Amino acid sequence: MKLNKEQQQMLEGKQGRGARKAVEILVAYGDCYNAERMIPVTSVHIAGNYPVLMDEGIEWLEDLAQGGTKVSVYTTKNPEMFDFEDSEELKVPEMYQERQRRIDAVLRSLGVTLTYSCHHYLVGNVPRFGDHIAWASSGSQVYANSVIGARSNRDGDHVALAAAVTGVIPEWGLHLTENRRGELLVDVGQLDLQKYDPADYKALGWAMGKIVGTKIPVFVNLPADLHVECVKGLLYTLTVTGGTGLVHLVGITPEASTVEAAFGGKPPPLADIAVLQEDVDKSYSEISSSSEEKVDLVIFGCPQCSIQEVQEIAELLDGKKLHPETQLWICTSRWVKTLCERMGLLDKVRSSGARIVADVGAADGPHLYLREQGIRVIAINSARGSYYAHNLFGMETWFGSTHACVQAAISGRWEGNR
């Protein structure tokens, strides 16, 4: 790979050991994919929280920050384990509090913007069409490529951090126009999509991810006015059962105004995949892992809830009380929580017995201590959240619509799809 003078100097250690380590990572990574050069990035997002980093990961970050290493590009951070403001109320064990304080301190010293959010594109990290970015979070990465038209590969945290420090990324994969063309035609025209809610789009994404794998699919016959929550539901779930980084939604994705544009030429004469309702129905039972009806916790926010989603949940909870043995958490960013407070939603939600929790996501962080508090069966409206809560933390899960989940919190039992 060709390095310019500045990158060469970094490699020689003339800009500190942090920059040297960062550029070493990028060179090894770029060489794997025969990248010819580095290109500037405008935005970085890093993902790992304590369950991913472990103690050794924190030490690695602390080592990177030694000597005053700083990010040179606007960099935001995914959710953590708990909200510092609620740590006592949530009974977070001191060991986890100490780890999160260390992570917070080292990110602060690196100059990372402490969003603790996975809807960072709603709270300030908004790339433009065509921007080269490094987002290490497969859900938002596919959203950036497919909805915004920014360009990011499926980079891990080490690569994203190295890009943040150096300001550049090796040019390969989805950074190059010729690699962004559609590879598979997916026709959803046989489904009655007018009746679909976001959970149904997640079930659809679950079924499709398994077939799509790492290829770039082109979806045709989606409603032109498809709600953003449905778009998110489809995209975020496709990257759970599959590994694709870009999805062309014809009529929605900026690079896919037509099916020809999506394929960069003539589309295949027949759809590679014609989805049937039975494929979608089957997903519901595959996503849920539980067979026990009693629900300990209903948890929303994978990705973190937007203000519109909180409003919808608050509306469903209005005048109701949660079952005494079931908790309900709405996970979101600090920004949305502040907005909820201003709009009276915080009190409204609290009076039902539910809580709004900032700085965490529903898929990972909190499950570490929730499990220790005896929470075993959860209900969730996110297929992604269900998958990670079950596979990484051993939770038993029910997956269904927002309405079915709220209902479970009120009755204490799962009565939704199965």
Partner 1 sequence: MKMKAKPVTAGIAEGEAIVSHMAISFTGGMDPDTGIIRESGHELEGKSVAGKILVFPTGKGSTTGSWQFYAAFKRGHAPKGIINVKAEGIVAVSAIITGTPMVHQMENDPLECINNGDFVKINADEGYVEIKKSKPDERR
For partner 1, what does the binding mask look like between residues 107 and 136, x meaning CB under 8 A?
-----------------------------x
DSSP annotation of 121 = T
Q: Give yes or no for residue 57 binding partner 1 (CB under 8 A).
A: yes
**Amino acid, single-letter form, for residue 226:** L
SS3 at position 94? helix
- Give strand pairing partners of 77: 46
Q: Give yes or no for residue 183 binding partner 1 (CB under 8 A).
A: no
Position among 28, 114, 176, 276 found at the interface with partner 1 (CB under 8 A): 28
Contact between residue 299 and residue 277 where contact means Cβ atoms under 8 Å apart: no
The interface region with partner 1, picked from 65-73, 150-158, 203-211, 219-227 by CB under 8 A, is 150-158
Position among 7, 19, 38, 48 found at the interface with partner 1 (CB under 8 A): 48
Q: Give yes or no for residue 171 binding partner 1 (CB under 8 A).
A: no
Which C-beta is closer to partner 1: that of 158 or that of 202?
A: 158
**28 CB neighbour count, 10 Å cutoff:** 13
Q: Give yes or no for residue 138 binding partner 1 (CB under 8 A).
A: yes
Which C-beta is closer to partner 1: that of 80 or that of 279?
A: 80
State in angstroms the smallest separation of the CB of 206 from partner 1: 17
Q: Give yes or no for residue 246 binding partner 1 (CB under 8 A).
A: no
State in angstroms the smallest separation of the CB of 141 from partner 1: 9
Q: Which residue has the tokens 């990972």?
A: 364
Burial 370-388 (b: 16+ CB within 10 A, else e): beeeebebbbbbbbbbbbb
CA 88, CA 161: separation in Å to the nearest integer?
Answer: 32
Helix extents (H) in 45-118? 50-65, 94-110
Element (H, E) at 391: helix 383-393
Pair of tokens at residue 223? 């409603």
Which C-beta is closer to partner 1: that of 172 or that of 329?
A: 172
The interface region with partner 1, picked from 17-25, 126-134, 343-351, 397-405 by CB under 8 A, is 17-25
198-212 vs 383-393: helix axis angle to the nearest 10?
60
Q: Give yes or no for residue 155 binding partner 1 (CB under 8 A).
A: yes
Position among 257, 258, 291, 391 found at the interface with partner 1 (CB under 8 A): 391
Q: Give yes or no for residue 59 binding partner 1 (CB under 8 A).
A: yes
Pair of tokens at residue 237? 């779930």
The interface region with partner 1, picked from 152-160, 179-187, 217-225, 282-290 by CB under 8 A, is 152-160
Site for partner 1, residues 346 to 375, rule: CB under 8 A: none
Q: Give yes or no for residue 176 binding partner 1 (CB under 8 A).
A: no
The interface region with partner 1, picked from 46-54, 119-127, 319-327, 400-408 by CB under 8 A, is 46-54
Q: Give yes or no for residue 80 binding partner 1 (CB under 8 A).
A: no
Which C-beta is closer to partner 1: that of 24 or that of 286?
A: 24
Position among 54, 114, 176, 276 found at the interface with partner 1 (CB under 8 A): 54
Burial 118-140 (b: 16+ CB within 10 A, else e): bbbbbbebebeeebbbbbbbbbb
Contact between residue 173 and residue 214 where contact means Cβ atoms under 8 Å apart: no
State in angstroms the smallest separation of the CB of 156 from partner 1: 3
CA 320, CA 1: separation in Å to the nearest integer?
Answer: 62
Q: Give yes or no for residue 143 binding partner 1 (CB under 8 A).
A: no
Region label for 97, one of left (φ > 0), alpha (ψ between -120 and 50) or beta (otherwise): alpha
Q: Give yes or no for residue 8 binding partner 1 (CB under 8 A).
A: no
| DSSP string for residues in 199-266 | HHHHHHHHHHHHHHTTS-EEEES--TT--HHHHHHHHHHHHHHS--S--EETTTSTT-SSHHHHHTSP
Tell me the number of residues near partner 1 by CB under 8 A. 27
The interface region with partner 1, picked from 24-32, 185-193, 282-290, 292-300 by CB under 8 A, is 24-32
Position among 45, 151, 158, 175 found at the interface with partner 1 (CB under 8 A): 158
Binding site for partner 1 (CB under 8 A): 21, 24-25, 28-29, 31-33, 47-48, 52-57, 59-60, 136, 138, 154-159, 391
